[in-house]
Structure 1
């Protein structure tokens, strides 16, 4: 059988590969998204080949011009990806050779697809990290804006989804601000791990050509070159790190989404979503469904699944490159696109969300949310906390039996339980007092939250 001339590796083989193998082996259907990174890396490689006099300046000029033309035509849609191509690397090189002739065949000198794809992926991840980080910074702006508007909006704080102690909505939403800040820092760490240039590692053992790897790294904006050629082509830690960081982002978005879903229900009625970020029912005309939040919550699972895919794929691979590693791209690409899409919907949804202050205040007034402050009142007057705890436990039991709140109880009843109670107990258990007296660093008092806002803004200013 004649050799298949479309495959650049075909020389070793006597016949053509089976059609089923071609389909199974091909990655052009998903790795075509790397076309810009592939061409950018190839241009840097060609320039280095010329600088080191491995190929002529004339060939470099032809190759670079040809690659720039391919990039332009792909971006404009004038050139379409060949679905029969094995991958983006072979597609680009084949088109280049068709356009400029034999000079195109010199582009791959000293290079393997193993170090080429590692380079493309690193360039792609660096670009996407920058984009997602910018989205997270926008999210922080929205969170900060909501917090600044609600420094004095009292709401119930929960543990076990049971009313626990009063906080402000600003304090609550800024908890997510801290999560997002950690997400941004995590992406910075991933960027450091990714910022290593692998080209020059060849298939696994480098090359005999006098490459200037630092020259390529400088052209492409990498801070260093890989130190070991085996590791350089087989390392996918940065892909796993990226997908882990994206999983953490989705986990935080999902937690917030769960709260939005609860808060927008009739039982809570703490917030109302803008009509632009809710949907209706096909049969129940009264419904206003928080579909954006529900989808974010649901899509979190697929990002977790992608992380598990990558960890499982890599766990048993011997050095160096193995074809299993082709499976890294779909998992990575899907996670990036999912997080990008989720953030693009969540940011304006939170920004336009109507926070119902009165309803939050009403909910906070129930459930004996100020019971701890009532116990603290006695403790500050000299009663040991455990004794104070017992007194207030009995008081709560009394209130439940009589269908009263702590504010409804008479001073006489308070004093019958403990003589330390005085008229100022009612001021001490006001919700505004309960929140305002928690003026400890990291606490919910307006002054403490204002300080938290200043600290968060200062930390964000360095990005």
Structure 2
């Protein structure tokens, strides 16, 4: 399938490689949520109004009894801050940004302009007037819910920004804001996994799109570099070559060898293998690249890290 930059076809990749980008984003979201959990796993109980108490209480015992890892060491901090809410809302906002971006791609991919994937009926709706429509409504709703979560984060940050120590009534606003961040995120996650697992992928449409847009042009330039031409010159030459293809209604895979050789004698029969899309994908063997071997390695990394 074509990979994109600036929403323009850029270079060939595999669908698995593209999806793995989101998998790694989501794996970092898990790390952020785990870190937020660790930071809030300290009990404020026993801080009292903010200065502690004259009674010889055992805050460590009460913290352990309530399932906390320990007690917050400073009683003023225990009462005055809500950074654990801010951190959680921040982690959820980043998570929702990733789900929103993923949703936008799904919305694009399900359009007739792409037709890369199709959502199951239970995750789509029709139109109230246009009988041919199948709208990706669940993905649109996830994209929209992201704004609500961002709003909760901004609410918490704005609530905290001017408060002197220790306690102020403003802090009561944390409850509604953090729940308004948690609840939509949980709802979106609940529908996202089944939406993906029931999604139909159309590889033939991806391959057809990959054959257009000259996404193998970089490989043509790399071909010349491997034959000794400086990349700057190879880049410029390939640009002119693409312009010739457009004018002649050809692609780099169909342009006659004679045409290639009018641009450079470095071109021989092996250029067709070099610009073959499957070759372009398989040859990107660098770590993190789109070759099948690299993609399998990335899957193993996720399995060992996230699923372990």
TM-score (norm 2): 0.99
2:60 to 209, 214, 221: 214
Partner of residue 404, structure 1 = 250
**Partner SS for 2:190:** helix
Partner of residue 335, structure 1 = 181
**Partner SS for 2:196:** helix
1:281 to 109, 112, 127: 127
Partner of residue 421, structure 1 = 267
- Which has the higher relative contact order, 1 or 2, with Cα contacts under 8 A spaced 6 or more apart? 2
Alignment of 1:262-277 (within 5 A): 262-277=108-123
> Which range moved further: 364-373 or 402-411?
402-411
- When the two chains are superposed, the root-mean-square deviation of aligned CA atoms in Å is 0.7
Task: Work out whether 1:233 is the aligned partner of 2:233.
Answer: no
Partner of residue 162, structure 2 = 316
Q: Supply the distance in 1 between the matched residues of 2:76 and 2:159 (Cα, whole angstroms).
A: 18
Alignment of 1:234-383 (within 5 A): 234-383=80-229
Q: Supply the distance in 2 between the matched residues of 1:398 and 1:421 (Cα, whole angstroms).
A: 15
Partner of residue 454, structure 1 = 300
Alignment of 1:20-419 (within 5 A): 155-419=1-265
Q: Supply the distance in 1 between the matched residues of 2:250 and 2:70 (Cα, whole angstroms).
A: 68
Partner of residue 435, structure 1 = 281
Q: Structure 1 segments of 4 or more deviating over 3 A?
A: none
> For 1:102-128, what per-residue CA distance to the aligned partner results, in whole angstroms no more than 9, with x for missing partners?
xxxxxxxxxxxxxxxxxxxxxxxxxxx
Residue 235 (structure 1) shift: 1.5
Residue 278 (structure 1) shift: 0.4
Residue 400 (structure 1) shift: 1.0
Residue 456 (structure 1) shift: 1.0
Q: Supply the distance in 1 between the matched residues of 2:253 and 2:162 (Cα, whole angstroms).
A: 64
Residue 332 (structure 1) shift: 0.3
Bigger-Rg structure (1/2): 1
Q: Supply the distance in 2 between the matched residues of 1:319 and 1:417 (Cα, whole angstroms).
A: 73
> For 1:327-368, what per-residue CA distance to the aligned partner results, in whole angstroms no more than 9, with x for missing partners?
001110011000000011111001111110000000001000
**Partner SS for 2:13:** strand
Residue 231 (structure 1) shift: 0.7
Q: Supply the distance in 2 between the matched residues of 1:249 and 1:332 (Cα, whole angstroms).
A: 15
Residue 212 (structure 1) shift: 1.1
Residue 416 (structure 1) shift: 1.4
Q: Supply the distance in 1 between the matched residues of 2:233 and 2:95 (Cα, whole angstroms).
A: 44
Partner of residue 71, structure 1 = none
**Partner SS for 2:2:** strand
TM-score (norm 1): 0.66
Partner of residue 129, structure 1 = none
Residue 461 (structure 1) shift: 3.5
Q: Supply the distance in 1 between the matched residues of 2:283 and 2:72 (Cα, whole angstroms).
A: 55
Gapped regions of structure 1 (runs ≥ 5)? 1-154
- Residues matched between the structures, number: 308
Q: Supply the distance in 2 between the matched residues of 1:455 and 1:245 (Cα, whole angstroms).
A: 22
